Amino acid sequence: MPELPEVETVVAGLRREAVGRRVVDVEILLDAHFLPSAAELADGLRGRRLTTARRWGKIWFVDTDDEQTLVGHLRMTGQLRVQPADEPRLPHTHLVATLDDGRELRWRDVRRFGWMHLLPSAEVAGLPELARLGPDALAIDEAAFVAAVRASGRGLKALLLGQEIVAGLGNIYVDEALHRARLHPTLTAGRLSRERARRLHGVMREVLSAAVAAHGSSIDGQYVAVDGELGSYQHAHRVYGRAGQPCLACGTPIVRIVAAGRGTHYCPSCQRRR
């Protein structure tokens, strides 16, 4: 958390609020995971215009007019906000970039797991953090997805969380997609028929698209959009975070187990291990 829908919401906000603006100053309030270093990142951004914002899986990119790219990952608690300069800065704000309209682009990360790199755009593809990523979950075509899933000997939850086959899914949306596809989270992926693998592909895209339309899921208040607004897809969750509550499809209580090292929610009636 945040996952693909939350990062897509943040990137859309950056396109709307920050792209086209020039960075007139950068202030480092707390050194975090900035590369090549906090000082070099700040110096590299000053005076540059932000030209595009995009995403691959859970990783976001902002390009500048001197062919550099700011690359980052929100991880658990990272936030990118565009705020008026006179709005109080919250604790755990690490970086403030003043834009040419007087507003500030702020990076905040309570748990400090997130990271941000500034490097030449031509070198982005060589980042180790990108090397293992599969196609984006909203871009992968059905044939490639089906072939990759059916060739794997891993459990479905582990496979979809791994990012190598498809990038962007995390704990929330894997649970939600598997429930809608009526697939048990520990079922071996290679056991899926082509029909069930195709259904999983379609359901995955439907869940992610609906979550993007709802601006993501805001569960603990840590994830917010660039304008500070919360997402609303948490109200549409069918299994995630609903242990003990009735399945919305059949009424059976939702069960929580640990799968692939993560808390996992599923319906034992709708998602039989077969």
Residue 147 sits in the same domain as residue 257: yes
29 class by beta-carbon count within 10 Å (0-12 exposed, 13-18 middle, 19+ buried): middle
Integer angstrom CA distances of residue 34 from 40, 42, 45, 66, 108? 9, 9, 12, 19, 13
Query: Does 270 score more than 80 pLDDT?
Result: yes
Q: For residue range 19-30, what is the model confidence (pLDDT) as tens digits?
A: 999 999 999 998
Residue 107 sits in the same domain as residue 147: no
Q: What is the pLDDT of residue 12?
A: 98
7 CB neighbour count, 10 Å cutoff = 25
Q: Which domain holds residue 24?
A: 4-131
**Domain presence at residue 58:** yes
Indicate which CATH number applies to the domain containing 88.
Answer: 3.20.190.10
Residue 154 sits in the same domain as residue 242: yes
Q: What is the pLDDT of residue 102?
A: 97
* pLDDT (average), residues 198-218: 98
Q: What is the pLDDT of residue 274?
A: 83
Q: How far apart are CA 190 and CA 151, in angstroms?
A: 5
Q: In this structure, what are the phi and psi dihedrals at residue 96, rounded to the nearest 5 degrees? A: -130, 120
Q: What is the pLDDT of residue 222?
A: 82
Residue 151 sits in the same domain as residue 238: yes
Q: What is the pLDDT of residue 266?
A: 98
Query: Does 248 score more than 90 pLDDT?
Result: yes
Q: For residue range 109-167, what is the model confidence (pLDDT) as tens digits?
A: 999 999 999 999 999 999 999 999 999 999 999 999 999 999 999 999 999 999 999 99
Indicate which CATH number applies to the domain containing 214.
Answer: 1.10.8.50
Catalytic positions: 2-3, 58, 262
Residue 60 sits in the same domain as residue 97: yes
- Name the pLDDT band for 230 (thresholds 50, 70, 90): very high
